[in-house]
Structure 1
Amino acid sequence: METITIPKAEIEQLHRELETLRNSSLYKRLLEFEKNISEGKRFTRADLGF
Structure 2
Amino acid sequence: NPKREQTQASIHAFVSHSTQNGNKLRKIENKHQAKSSQNHIHTKSILSSHMKECA
Quickly name the TM-score band, shorter chain normalised: 0.3 to 0.5
Greater relative CO (CA pairs within 8 A, separation 6+): 1
Instruction: Tell me the TM-score normalised to structure 1 length.
Output: 0.38
Q: Please identify which structure carries the higher helix content.
A: 2
